Structure 1
Amino acid sequence: MSDWEDEYGEDEGAISEPSVVHKATSKATSNTNIRNEYFGGKRGGKVEREGPQWRNWRERDREVKSPVERPASNRALTLNLDNSLIGRVIGRGGATIRELEQSSGARIKINRGEHEGEVLIFGNSDVQQKANHLIKELIGTGRASEPRLHYGSKSSGSKSDSCWSESAPQASAVSPSTSIDWKAIRENRGKYEALKWKDLPPLKKNFYIESDSVAKRSTDEVRAWRKENNNIFVDDLKEEVKREIPNPVYTFEEAFACYPEIMENIIRVGFQKPTPIQSQAWPVILSGLDLIGIAQTGTGKTLSYLLPGFIHMDLQSVPRDKRGGPGMLVLTPTRELALQIETECNKYSYKGFKCICVYGGGDRRAQIKIVTSGVDIVIATPGRLNDLQMNELINLRSITYLVLDEADRMLDMGFEPQIMKIILDIRPDRQTVMTSATWPTGVRRLAKSYLKDPMMVYVGTLDLAAVDTVQQTVLVVQEEEKKAYIFDFIQNMEPEDKVLIFVGKKIVADDLSSDLCLRGIAVQSLHGDREQCDREEALQDFKDGRVRILVATDLASRGLDVHDISHVFNFDFPRNIEEYVHRVGRTGRAGRSGVSVTLVTREDWKLAGELIHILERAGQEVPEELVLMAERYDKHQKEKEMFPAQSRGGRAQRGARDRFRGGSHRRF
């Protein structure tokens, strides 16, 4: 049916906004004239819709169309897809669907339902088939839920009006909808789970052989050692009968004396003794228990789960070449952290285990080629791994050792839905390790959902606190003064200093790094809008010392392992106090000391109280202006509670707010 029929009813009145708007250009006018002449001719610029072609068209439509419903077009190629696949066709901000339209020349329309949606493809036969091919290539083929195709609509008992040949795919009968008995599904959940995983081979978890020296340690000795080593606390989260907590190991030999190849790696790297988190985590993980490890950044959490993971994979009953997929999966929030973990993993080569890093922004084809050729360890960001999983390019059923690294950051970045989908395809009796630098409510919920009777090891305190090896300086300034402060700071840097400058927005990172370059200062920038190769180059230049200044967004606040960063400069205050702690943790690593400088403006006053708490816990100096800022914010909050009507806005409220804050000349 033509666009003209969509725009006008039988009484020649407009029924809806036309689906295609023709711009008033000479080309569009010419095309319209041609169409008008075909459908009944043209009289003085007015379209005649009473010709024989129009009457035949309407009569044929009456045979096909329902008197109530008006299908968009009986020539549209329709793909029925799950909503998860619909989202992939649309893409972020509609970018993917626009790219598909440009590549194929088709017009694509999306109709979304509660669980399933339609992709309508308009155009000629060749264009539709090209768009269909591109969409199937995008979402992957060969899946059990492959899209169902049909062309337009077809009434029973009437001859098809489709212009397609008999060999073209035709409409399939729509099965009547049946209600789903959710209650029965929930009641039989255990039964369905057992059927899903019934063919899995047995899993071994306990590989810990406690040395005599560790077993002989008294309770008082262990308690004293934990207190001396950053106040380590261990808790059994099993709700029923509590288990005996393993004693910590003081040396590498006490943990890995029975695994000589692990010891060879440790000797080769040159470590002297385990960090506190490693000393207590290794006996727990090697015993086969799930673990939650809470410790500050730079305390050795990565090695605490990697070495036991090597042993776990090596000693399974099923040989590596018969597992059909990887044995260890490490989920991590950012590309930089994923690449860093891959580097650590390759540093401790063990039994020839093959490792791959899977992340968005990397070469997808190359990653798929390596994954399908066979790997033992997958280190991945949730988005890209979920992509490979949905296209059945990776087998997660073989995973027996799962790590959720920097869990709090993954939740902050909104990865929980992807994590949920990934974990549903991993065997439920796996061993799971979760690490985090903080212990917020979201991480507790994640731990309760995906870990089974875990033990918790946390170093220091569960309260948020910055590392005490960093001298923290806070300056209360005005927004327009910030660049002067950073230029003055850089001018006074020592030759051996290395500074990481944090900003709040990508555009600020580009702007600040450009200003520094114009002043003849060697600098690199790191943020999410840069190409992956540029990000890797910037990070490598900073690590190798080719540049001593790196301007970055919070992308670099987690997992950036550069030991010789002497200063952290917070040009913009972060959006929450947790990010402040992680930023500060980029310096003062591996036993070194560091300095952080933070600029605070009046817009940051809502976080002043929390910042004061962090500074006081670390024994740092608290500026008087910061205290006044926190007090004024508290008073402002109390005023809002007392006079809620004023919070709706208006001139009176603005005047009261200005008077309350002391006028616009105040610095905070």
Structure 2
Amino acid sequence: MNWSKGGPGGKRGFGFGGFSLSGGKKEEPHVNQKAHNSFGASGSAGGYGKNQQLPAFYKIGTKRANFDEENAYFEDDEDESSAADLPYIPAENSPTRQQFQSSGGGGGGGGSDSEDDPLDAFMAEVENQAAKDMKKLEEKEKEKKLVKFLCSVQEAYFRYMAENPTAGLTQEEEEENVDYDSDGNPIAPTTKKIILPLPPIDHSEIDYPPFEKNFYIEHEELNSLTGTQVVELRQKLNLRVSGAAPPKPCTSFAHFNFDEQLMNQIRKSEYTKPTPIQCQGVPIALSGRDMIGIAKTGSGKTAAFIWPMLVHIMDQKELEQGDGPIAVIVCPTRELCQQIHTECKRFGKVYGLRSVAVYGGGSMWEQAKALQEGAEIVVCTPGRLIDHVKKKATSLQRVTYLVFDEADRMFDMGFEYQVRSIASHIRPDRQTLLFSATFRKKIEKLARDILIDPIRVVQGDIGEANEDVTQLVEVLPNGTDKWVWLTRRLVEFTSSGSVLIFVTKKANCDELATNLQQEGYSLGLLHGDMDQSERNKVISDFKKKSLPVLVATDVAARGLDIPSIRTVVNYDVARDIDTHTHRIGRTGRAGEKGVAYTLLTHKDTTFAGDLVRNLEGANQSVSKDLLDLAMQNSWFRKSRFKGGKGKKLNIGGGGLGYRERPGLGSESSVSFCLTSDYLTCLHLKHADIHKNSGKEKCFHAYDVISFV
């Protein structure tokens, strides 16, 4: 078929340059052959119109072929990129390229297939950090919840303790809160202490077995004494006795009629003769009478109630399983409790008697175990004994011998209700003895409520210092001079024996001890903040002389019996004259001599007046400096001008009771009551042979002074 006018030998084409169809049967490129043949079959030489449409149709076919080719090109490119999976290579001289090469990704322009992508690494790091932050946040939330829980628990605890201030405390632990003030000194509380007493008991419903308490047989040498001789003997012993028919005082251990076992132990304890309080107190106790014993410190009053107690116990049947003690000794402090317990063991071992010490600070379990095993003697502080009775560790049903030592101190410290509770739980027909170094009038009235027809024995003046102790007073300008004075004299003091230094406050105690240790002194420290084991160790070392010096607050002033103490230094003055008396009584024990130094400054005018009266009552010299200091006090100066001083105003009271009080009569009437005529009258009156009405009036005058 001929498409163009080129003639039989010309080229065929669509009439535009650059594109021609080859002759023969050669297939036309990019043209669908079937479609071309169909158009060619229907076409003719005169059919130009159809030849005009062929280029347009052909153009459409060509465009479609070109569009497909372009799509095929892009599809081939995508196939090649996906199949190649080439590694990432940064551009030349770029910072990323340098980092890539330094990390080992270079070398030949390629990296390992296992190399992590930096973006993936960064995202992984972000995810790890986010996980860590989330974990910290969870921990903080848990911590907040825990803190909130603990705060609620703590708040509930404080609320409960505010509503129940004594929760978790035993009676003795509550007692110790009163025992020592904020400065470590035993004083009376400012408010009344709530004490849980033992439950009431009806003694009429209990069938108590009878017991014997009068074992005293008067020695024939005493039986032969006349009334005048008895009066003279009491004057010589400086004894004042009141009460119905008191026994005569003894002058020898033979008069006590103790058996040989006890006498051997007394001799081993280096007793040579009885002390004045023992001369009168032991016969009274052996007689089964109730007694109030008042004696100066170091007078041997502890033995005065221990020896008759042993006789009392040995007369009763042995303890059975579950029985409580036969004798109970109650004292205010742990130190005194331990001291008395030691004496009970020393003398009780000759009869095989057992003693148990029950006090605060010790193990409740161990004490209860010892009580349940059985002990004839219990030495205790009041609160701890009540605890054990409530817990049924012991019983007071077999108690027939009751002693309150340092009774005034127990009442002063607020233990009156505990004392009364203990006394009310013991059979009414018991024998009760109260001993103390001081005994004020109001305390004496309270004590008489638990005694029956007592005999009152006073050895020396109430509150009087021990005459075996030489008292020396130093008046210094200020507190700094006290330190200079002490450091200059301490070596001299330690060369003669142990030294006990008293201060008022715990803070001062620590400070003074630290300063002395820095000066090279070996010493012990004793105050109310120390626990019981520490205090026991310090006292033990001081007794063994391992520690030559002991610095202490007044917690050590009562009941501390260490014969090796030769010097007492009152570095700070005592709170009152009674406490001062007990301080200096730590030396000069059992007839030994001692020296007590008291350091005063110009601010101690009030105490200086009390000290002058005390020294004059004990026949001690008063220096001019001390007297001048005391005269700066107005009440002392007024009383001095009235002529009242010394022993004459000390009758019937102790310590601060030296001042003249209305209602006691004139000075002459008091002096009259101390004459031998009065003492003879007193003895004759009790013997029911008095006939002189004037002497009878004299008795009533003294009766007012002694008992009001």
Question: SS in structure 1 opposite 2:582?
Answer: helix
Structure 1 contact 408–442 (Cα < 8 Å) conserved: no
Q: How does 1:24-173 map to 2 (within 5 A)?
A: 88-89=166-167, 91=169
The residue number in structure 2 matching 1:261 is: 261
The residue number in structure 2 matching 1:605 is: 605
Q: Cα distance, 1:338 vs. partner? A: 1.2
The residue number in structure 2 matching 1:246 is: 247
**Cα deviation digits, residues 597-644 of structure 1 (max 9, x gap):** 111234433222211101122233334443344333327999xxxxxx
Cα distance in 2 between the residues matched to 1:604 and 1:312: 49
How does the TM-score come out when normalised to structure 2?
0.61
The residue number in structure 1 matching 2:210 is: 202
Larger radius of gyration: 2
Structure 2 contact 494–549 (Cα < 8 Å) conserved: no
Cα distance in 2 between the residues matched to 1:217 and 1:90: 60
Q: Cα distance, 1:405 vs. partner? A: 0.6
Structure 1 contact 292–456 (Cα < 8 Å) conserved: yes
When residues 466 and 637 of structure 1 are mapped into structure 2, their CA distance, relative to the original with a 3 A threshold, is: closer
When residues 31 and 232 of structure 1 are mapped into structure 2, their CA distance, relative to the original with a 3 A threshold, is: closer
Letter of the 1:233 partner, please give it: R
The residue number in structure 2 matching 1:131 is: none
When residues 32 and 292 of structure 1 are mapped into structure 2, their CA distance, relative to the original with a 3 A threshold, is: closer
The residue number in structure 2 matching 1:399 is: 399
Q: Cα distance, 1:372 vs. partner? A: 1.5
Find out whether 1:228 has 2:240 as its counterpart.
no
Percentage of identical aligned residues: 38
The residue number in structure 2 matching 1:566 is: 566
Structure 1 contact 606–630 (Cα < 8 Å) conserved: yes
Bigger relative contact order (CA 8 A; separation at least 6) = 2
Runs (4+) off by over 6 Å: 25-34, 635-638
Letter of the 2:302 partner, please give it: T
Cα distance in 2 between the residues matched to 1:536 and 1:494: 22
Q: Cα distance, 1:296 vs. partner? A: 0.7
Structure 1 contact 256–263 (Cα < 8 Å) conserved: no
Q: Cα distance, 1:30 vs. partner? A: 6.5
Question: SS in structure 1 opposite 2:493?
Answer: coil
Structure 1 contact 310–350 (Cα < 8 Å) conserved: no
Question: SS in structure 1 opposite 2:449?
Answer: helix
When residues 252 and 92 of structure 1 are mapped into structure 2, their CA distance, relative to the original with a 3 A threshold, is: closer
Root-mean-square deviation (CA, aligned residues, Å) is 3.5
When residues 319 and 469 of structure 1 are mapped into structure 2, their CA distance, relative to the original with a 3 A threshold, is: closer
Q: How does 1:455-604 map to 2 (within 5 A)?
A: 455-462=455-462, 464-477=463-476, 478-493=478-493, 495-604=495-604
When residues 381 and 29 of structure 1 are mapped into structure 2, their CA distance, relative to the original with a 3 A threshold, is: closer
Find out whether 1:334 has 2:333 as its counterpart.
yes
Cα distance in 1 between the residues matched to 2:354 and 2:170: 33
**Cα deviation digits, residues 334-361 of structure 1 (max 9, x gap):** 2111111111111112421110111111
Cα distance in 2 between the residues matched to 1:92 and 1:244: 43
Q: Cα distance, 1:415 vs. partner? A: 2.1
The residue number in structure 1 matching 2:186 is: none
Question: SS in structure 1 opposite 2:564?
Answer: coil
Question: SS in structure 2 opposite 1:283?
Answer: helix
Letter of the 1:249 partner, please give it: C
Cα distance in 2 between the residues matched to 1:433 and 1:274: 19
- Identify which range, 589-598 or 577-586, moves more after superposition: 589-598
When residues 33 and 212 of structure 1 are mapped into structure 2, their CA distance, relative to the original with a 3 A threshold, is: closer
| Structure 2: gaps of 5 or more residues | 1-139, 150-155, 175-193, 639-708
Q: How does 1:425-444 map to 2 (within 5 A)?
A: 425-444=425-444
User: How many positions carry a matched residue from both structures?
Assistant: 470
Q: Cα distance, 1:393 vs. partner? A: 2.1
When residues 623 and 393 of structure 1 are mapped into structure 2, their CA distance, relative to the original with a 3 A threshold, is: same
Structure 1 contact 325–374 (Cα < 8 Å) conserved: yes
When residues 369 and 385 of structure 1 are mapped into structure 2, their CA distance, relative to the original with a 3 A threshold, is: same
The residue number in structure 2 matching 1:445 is: 445
The residue number in structure 1 matching 2:346 is: 347
Q: Cα distance, 1:576 vs. partner? A: 0.9
When residues 636 and 214 of structure 1 are mapped into structure 2, their CA distance, relative to the original with a 3 A threshold, is: closer
Q: Cα distance, 1:322 vs. partner? A: 6.5
Q: Cα distance, 1:470 vs. partner? A: 1.7
Q: Cα distance, 1:86 vs. partner? A: 5.6
Q: Cα distance, 1:323 vs. partner? A: 7.5
Q: Cα distance, 1:523 vs. partner? A: 0.5
Cα distance in 1 between the residues matched to 2:405 and 2:297: 12
**Cα deviation digits, residues 471-527 of structure 1 (max 9, x gap):** 211222312332222212214435233210001112222221111111111111111
When residues 92 and 26 of structure 1 are mapped into structure 2, their CA distance, relative to the original with a 3 A threshold, is: farther
Question: SS in structure 1 opposite 2:551?
Answer: strand
| Structure 1: gaps of 5 or more residues | 1-24, 35-75, 97-115, 117-138, 146-188, 237-242, 639-668
**Cα deviation digits, residues 382-441 of structure 1 (max 9, x gap):** 222222223232211221100001112222333222222222211121100110111213
When residues 605 and 444 of structure 1 are mapped into structure 2, their CA distance, relative to the original with a 3 A threshold, is: same
When residues 397 and 603 of structure 1 are mapped into structure 2, their CA distance, relative to the original with a 3 A threshold, is: farther
- Identify which range, 417-426 or 430-439, moves more after superposition: 417-426
When residues 31 and 435 of structure 1 are mapped into structure 2, their CA distance, relative to the original with a 3 A threshold, is: closer
Question: SS in structure 2 opposite 1:367?
Answer: helix
